[in-house]
């Protein structure tokens, strides 16, 4: 049966292929694995935020009955590692120094967890405590205390300064120039599944690691370096991930320690983190202080923008260099910004390192920009929706910072949420205490460059046909709940004219599946999807060739649908899919075909131009309506509308789920979530005290899908998992202002801040709550690059492996 646009599978709402296993408890997450003779591992972690390690005595732990292995950092080859080649600053177990509470210094494998814990208490570590630097200001004020020995300055991990055209010149001619300061508090992923790894170093000298990881390929690469074992002898299998959100994208101490412990103990070893350890493992949202200066014409058109960000990076690099660039990358993709200047600095502090969380580096500037636009619209007497509409980027153009926008549905997104929410009727007309706010965003559909420079595919897929008509899809992708296994099944089913149920997807096993870089940057649907389509088309070509020969027609006459291969326009002339497989295998031999995908090479030709490019961008618009209690300061979202340009909804049910989850997480970040520290310790490393929205906190949400059929996407699809989060947070802030006239220029918008703002208003002061002071920090002269704003997109994007 054929649906819209001639598709059989694409565009239909259907359950995920793994839904049945998930509702019956059959899905085996990493901690559900148990191997014969398996030992349990535990990590000894530093209680100090900053200290030198003077000695570690493990003798008493080793002597404890039931202990199979005790290791320290000295058991690893020397040298550090890190996810980014430019930030090799981590150790699985610290040797000379700890830089945060939670840094691991030793590990134990024992007969059970209790014995392992007892053994940890018998390890004696002598520390020499150093002064902890717990904020950007602390770290900059004390260059004599060094957290790391590398970077762009004392305690400065990375500094970026780029200029695309002369912003000062346009500010001189603008009708309105606004300068605002915003602060976005750090928060964490909080996946429901705590990280877990099971390692088995076999008697053949080969290592297998099962882990809850979003990027098995990167773990595979780094284990080779960290353990000094040939990668050929290491196999990494990503178990189904019980929520990642970016928090399982680095290689972690517990994964590495499990491997080493297994080698020493001669047994499989499992290490499952506790919830408290997960909070300290972190790699979540950077706290970012921002200054943004924007020029506007009278009609609201942006004439230029100067943006500065200071990121509190924590103790290690992680993805921080990319995070820093991302704070400045995408402002220009959403709106027309003819000239643009960006300066960013990431500062080391003695806290768990920040890294990628849903939206990676972009929710913070999005909050700043969208709140500033709201203020500017008010000053200019413009409807904030109409003002954004006028500023929306044009399709198939380049931005000031040389990013290529292909399709954009932003104007339609704005129109749809304005319509659905009753924006025009409600804005400024709701009773005091009730308000409505709007914001927009854009996001990558996959990072255009890999973590490490190479010319190989970013995604590989093998499609193999069985004589019985079943099809196996082998792919290095990791399903973290977003439904990537299902999407691959839908795409292959569509191409081959079979049902998704006929397909088994085998993900993320470095021995069996071609490399996929991982489930991050919203890349899997587009990149692995395109690779899967290519592989399936190669298989289909063989099937058509064989079937056509049998039927006495040419291959180009053939079609596949409803589990049949037949002559197009003569549906009765044909055969079952399985029969076609038998004919094709008889003719060609084994039917297993690869597909490869690498994004078009469009990175701007300047240092830093590699962060921000993507095959295409999703766009979103959001309206939030809130109630604000003027007595308690409590903000309760009443309703949320998000319109999202997803290119094409391959399965609208799944896309809606991604948008709804984004709204949820955005509301949490807007109103309650914060990862903050006191005296070197996480203030509330538990699920009870770290506030996140429950079913009672969630308002009704409305998802509107906009389709733009992007030429880069698989059947036109773009991403759906990160972009829709971004506008929610500023839309809440703007709604709070509409409700009670208070500007909360920092997240989370907690009741105490609202009450303070109202009190300031009553005292006749500006009703604004937020940071005012900026760090004392001098950015270097920016690298001057010509603005590419408004240039047409390259007519033909060069996509490697396309043929």
Judged by DSSP in three states, 469 sits in: coil
Query: In what helix (H) or strand (E) does residue 331 lie, and over which residues does it extend?
Result: helix 331-334
Determine if 84 is a binding residue for another protein (CB under 8 A). Answer: no
* Contact pattern from residue 377 through residue 396 relative to another protein, giving x for each residue in contact according to CB under 8 A and a dash for the rest: --------------------
CA distance 209 to 62: 25
* Contact pattern from residue 394 through residue 433 relative to another protein, giving x for each residue in contact according to CB under 8 A and a dash for the rest: --------------------------x-------------
Neighbours of 161 (CB within 10 A): 18
Asked whether 371 and 734 are in contact (CB, 8 A), the reply is: yes
Asked whether 647 and 717 are in contact (CB, 8 A), the reply is: yes
- State which of residues 63, 169, 687, 802 lies at the interface with another protein (CB under 8 A): 687
Determine if 518 is a binding residue for another protein (CB under 8 A). Answer: no
Give the nearer residue to another protein in terms of CB position, either 387 or 489. Answer: 489
Determine if 507 is a binding residue for another protein (CB under 8 A). Answer: no
- State which of residues 664, 677, 737, 801 lies at the interface with another protein (CB under 8 A): 664
* Contact pattern from residue 602 through residue 641 relative to another protein, giving x for each residue in contact according to CB under 8 A and a dash for the rest: ----------------------------------------
Determine if 26 is a binding residue for another protein (CB under 8 A). Answer: yes
CA distance 384 to 417: 13
C-alpha closest to that of 164 among 321, 293, 297, 338: 338
Asked whether 183 and 288 are in contact (CB, 8 A), the reply is: yes
Retrieve residue 105's tokens: 């210094």
Q: What is the distance between the terminal CA atoms of the chain, rounded to a whole angstrom?
A: 30
- State which of residues 91, 103, 180, 194 lies at the interface with another protein (CB under 8 A): 194
Neighbours of 681 (CB within 10 A): 14
Please tell me whether the peptide bond between 652 and the residue prior to it is cis, using omega within 30 degrees of 0: no
Determine if 191 is a binding residue for another protein (CB under 8 A). Answer: yes
Neighbours of 275 (CB within 10 A): 13
> Quick one: which segment of 30-38, 336-344, 387-395, 513-521 binds another protein (CB under 8 A)?
30-38
Determine if 521 is a binding residue for another protein (CB under 8 A). Answer: no
> Quick one: which segment of 43-51, 155-163, 184-192, 739-747 binds another protein (CB under 8 A)?
184-192
Residue 344: CB minimum distance to another protein, A: 28
Sequence-distant (6+) residues with CB within 8 A of 537 are: 495, 595
CA distance 371 to 504: 46
Judged by DSSP in three states, 676 sits in: coil
> Quick one: which segment of 141-149, 238-246, 262-270, 550-558 binds another protein (CB under 8 A)?
238-246
Determine if 482 is a binding residue for another protein (CB under 8 A). Answer: yes
Residue 125: CB minimum distance to another protein, A: 26
Determine if 468 is a binding residue for another protein (CB under 8 A). Answer: no
Retrieve residue 733's tokens: 């802030």
Residue with tokens 């690498």: 598
Distances (CA, A) of 540 to 514, 536, 670, 764: 20, 6, 48, 72
Determine if 571 is a binding residue for another protein (CB under 8 A). Answer: no
Neighbours of 581 (CB within 10 A): 26
Judged by DSSP in three states, 119 sits in: helix
Asked whether 648 and 716 are in contact (CB, 8 A), the reply is: yes
> Quick one: which segment of 70-78, 90-98, 301-309, 655-663 binds another protein (CB under 8 A)?
655-663
Instruction: List the beta bridge partners of residue 473.
Output: 463, 505
DSSP state, residue 335:
B
Determine if 29 is a binding residue for another protein (CB under 8 A). Answer: yes
> Quick one: which segment of 27-35, 214-222, 282-290, 441-449 binds another protein (CB under 8 A)?
27-35
> Quick one: which segment of 378-386, 439-447, 545-553, 690-698 binds another protein (CB under 8 A)?
690-698
> Quick one: which segment of 169-177, 528-536, 606-614, 704-712 binds another protein (CB under 8 A)?
704-712
Residues numbered 32 to 51 that lie near another protein (CB under 8 A) are 32, 34
Residue 3: CB minimum distance to another protein, A: 7
Determine if 683 is a binding residue for another protein (CB under 8 A). Answer: no
Residue 684: CB minimum distance to another protein, A: 11
- State which of residues 12, 135, 576, 791 lies at the interface with another protein (CB under 8 A): 12
Q: Where does 298-374 show beta strands of DSSP type E? A: 302-314, 340-348
DSSP 754-782: HHHHHHHHHTTS--EES--------PPPP
Residues numbered 253 to 292 that lie near another protein (CB under 8 A) are 274-275
Determine if 692 is a binding residue for another protein (CB under 8 A). Answer: yes
Residue 705: CB minimum distance to another protein, A: 4
CA distance 185 to 747: 5
- State which of residues 23, 63, 456, 784 lies at the interface with another protein (CB under 8 A): 23
CA distance 439 to 366: 9
DSSP state, residue 574:
E
> Quick one: which segment of 192-200, 517-525, 539-547, 630-638 binds another protein (CB under 8 A)?
192-200
Determine if 20 is a binding residue for another protein (CB under 8 A). Answer: yes
Give the nearer residue to another protein in terms of CB position, either 51 or 196. Answer: 196
> Quick one: which segment of 198-206, 374-382, 601-609, 702-710 binds another protein (CB under 8 A)?
702-710
Give the nearer residue to another protein in terms of CB position, either 26 or 179. Answer: 26
Residue 27: CB minimum distance to another protein, A: 5
CA distance 439 to 414: 9
Residue 13: CB minimum distance to another protein, A: 3
278: left (phi over 0), alpha (psi -120 to 50) or beta: alpha
DSSP 745-758: -BSS--HHHHHHHH
Give the nearer residue to another protein in terms of CB position, either 224 or 660. Answer: 660
- State which of residues 55, 78, 556, 694 lies at the interface with another protein (CB under 8 A): 694
Give the nearer residue to another protein in terms of CB position, either 698 or 797. Answer: 698
CA distance 404 to 783: 20
Determine if 242 is a binding residue for another protein (CB under 8 A). Answer: yes
- State which of residues 151, 500, 595, 637 lies at the interface with another protein (CB under 8 A): 500
> Quick one: which segment of 140-148, 574-582, 682-690, 756-764 binds another protein (CB under 8 A)?
682-690
Residues numbered 706 to 725 that lie near another protein (CB under 8 A) are 707
Determine if 519 is a binding residue for another protein (CB under 8 A). Answer: no
CA distance 523 to 720: 10
CA distance 567 to 718: 33
* Number of residues in contact with another protein under rule CB under 8 A: 73
CA distance 219 to 568: 47
Determine if 9 is a binding residue for another protein (CB under 8 A). Answer: no
Neighbours of 506 (CB within 10 A): 15
Residue 310: CB minimum distance to another protein, A: 28
Determine if 563 is a binding residue for another protein (CB under 8 A). Answer: no
Sequence-distant (6+) residues with CB within 8 A of 332 are: 305, 340, 393, 399, 400, 401, 403, 789
Distances (CA, A) of 592 to 74, 387, 515: 45, 53, 16
Determine if 652 is a binding residue for another protein (CB under 8 A). Answer: yes
C-alpha closest to that of 289 among 182, 403, 180: 182
Determine if 472 is a binding residue for another protein (CB under 8 A). Answer: no
- State which of residues 154, 202, 243, 782 lies at the interface with another protein (CB under 8 A): 243
Give the nearer residue to another protein in terms of CB position, either 274 or 586. Answer: 274
Residue 453: CB minimum distance to another protein, A: 32
Determine if 705 is a binding residue for another protein (CB under 8 A). Answer: yes
Distances (CA, A) of 636 to 135, 185, 744: 31, 20, 15
Determine if 441 is a binding residue for another protein (CB under 8 A). Answer: no
């Amino acid at each position: 049966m054929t649906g819209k646009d001639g598709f059989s599978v694409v565009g239909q709402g259907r359950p995920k292929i793994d839904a049945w296993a998930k509702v019956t408890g059959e899905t085996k997450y990493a901690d559900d694995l148990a191997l014969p003779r398996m030992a349990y591992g535990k990590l000894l972690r530093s209680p100090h935020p900053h200290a030198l390690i003077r000695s570690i005595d493990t003798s008493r732990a080793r002597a404890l009955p039931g202990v199979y292995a005790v290791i320290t950092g000295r058991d690893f080859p020397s040298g550090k590692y890190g996810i980014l080649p430019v930030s090799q600053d981590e150790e699985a177990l610290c040797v000379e120094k700890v830089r945060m509470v939670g840094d691991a210094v030793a590990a134990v494998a024992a007969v059970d967890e209790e014995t392992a814990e007892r053994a940890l208490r018998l390890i004696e570590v002598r520390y020499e405590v150093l002064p902890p630097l717990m904020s950007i200001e602390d770290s900059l004020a004390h260059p004599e205390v060094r957290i790391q020995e590398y970077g762009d300055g004392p305690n400065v991990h990375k500094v970026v300064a780029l200029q695309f055209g002369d912003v000062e010149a346009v500010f001189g001619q603008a009708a309105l120039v606004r300068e605002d300061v915003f602060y976005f508090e750090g928060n964490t992923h909080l996946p429901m599944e705590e990280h877990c790894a099971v390692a088995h170093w076999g008697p053949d000298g080969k290592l297998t690691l099962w882990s809850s990881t979003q990027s098995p390929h990167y773990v595979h690469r780094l284990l080779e370096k960290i353990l000094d074992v040939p990668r050929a002898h290491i196999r990494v299998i990503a178990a189904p991930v019980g929520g990642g959100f970016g928090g399982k994208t680095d290689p972690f101490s517990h994964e590495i320690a499990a491997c080493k412990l297994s080698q020493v103990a001669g047994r499989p070893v499992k290490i499952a983190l506790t919830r408290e350890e997960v909070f300290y493992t972190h790699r979540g949202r950077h706290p970012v202080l921002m200054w943004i200066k924007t020029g506007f014409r009278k009609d609201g058109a942006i004439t230029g923008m100067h943006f500065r960000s200071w990121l509190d990076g924590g103790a290690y690099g992680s993805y921080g260099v990319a995070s820093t660039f991302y704070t400045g990358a995408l402002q220009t993709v959403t709106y027309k910004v003819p000239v643009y200047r960006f300066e960013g600095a990431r500062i080391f502090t003695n806290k768990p390192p920040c890294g990628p969380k849903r939206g990676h580096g972009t929710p913070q500037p999005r909050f700043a920009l969208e709140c500033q636009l709201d203020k500017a619209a008010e000053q200019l007497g413009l409807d904030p929706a109409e003002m954004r509409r006028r500023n929306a980027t044009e399709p198939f153009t380049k931005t000031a910072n040389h990013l290529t926008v292909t399709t954009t549905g932003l104007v339609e997104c704005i129109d749809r949420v304005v319509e659905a929410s009753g924006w025009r009727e409600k804005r400024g007309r709701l009773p005091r205490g009730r308000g409505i706010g709007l914001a927009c965003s854009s996001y990558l559909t996959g990072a255009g460059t890999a973590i490490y420079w190479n010319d190989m595919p970013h995604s590989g897929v093998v499609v193999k046909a069985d004589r019985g008509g079943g099809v196996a899809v082998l792919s290095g992708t990791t399903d973290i709940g977003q439904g990537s296994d299902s999407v691959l099944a839908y795409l292959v089913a569509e191409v081959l004219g079979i049902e998704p149920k006929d397909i088994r997807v085998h993900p993320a096993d470095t021995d069996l599946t071609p490399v996929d870089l991982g489930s991050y940057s919203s890349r899997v649907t587009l990149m692995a999807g395109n690779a899967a389509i290519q592989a399936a088309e190669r298989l289909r070509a063989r099937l058509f060739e064989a079937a056509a020969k049998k039927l006495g027609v040419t291959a180009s006459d053939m079609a596949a649908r409803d589990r049949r291969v037949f002559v197009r326009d003569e549906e009765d002339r044909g055969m079952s899919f399985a029969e076609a497989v038998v004919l094709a295998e008889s003719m060609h031999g084994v039917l297993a075909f690869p597909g490869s995908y690498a994004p078009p090479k469009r990175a701007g030709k300047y240092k830093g131009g590699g962060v921000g490019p993507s095959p295409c961008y999703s766009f979103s618009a959001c309206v939030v309506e809130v109630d604000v209690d003027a007595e308690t300061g409590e903000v309760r979202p009443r309703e949320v509308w998000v319109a999202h340009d997803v290119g094409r909804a391959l399965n609208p049910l799944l896309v809606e789920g991604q948008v709804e989850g984004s709204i949820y997480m955005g509301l949490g970040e807007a109103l309650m979530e914060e990862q903050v520290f006191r005296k070197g310790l996480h203030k509330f490393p538990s699920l009870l005290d770290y506030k996140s929205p429950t079913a009672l906190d969630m308002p009704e949400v409305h998802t509107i899908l906009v389709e733009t059929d992007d030429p880069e996407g698989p059947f036109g699809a773009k991403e759906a998992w990160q972009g829709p989060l971004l506008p929610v947070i500023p839309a809440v802030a703007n709604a709070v202002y509409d409700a009670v006239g208070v500007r909360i220029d920092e997240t989370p918008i907690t009741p105490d801040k609202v009450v303070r703002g109202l009190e300031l208003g009553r005292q006749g002061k500006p009703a604004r709550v937020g940071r005012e002071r900026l760090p004392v920090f001098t950015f270097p002269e920016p690298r001057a690059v010509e603005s590419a704003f408004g240039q047409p997109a390259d007519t033909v994007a060069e996509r490697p492996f396309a043929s």
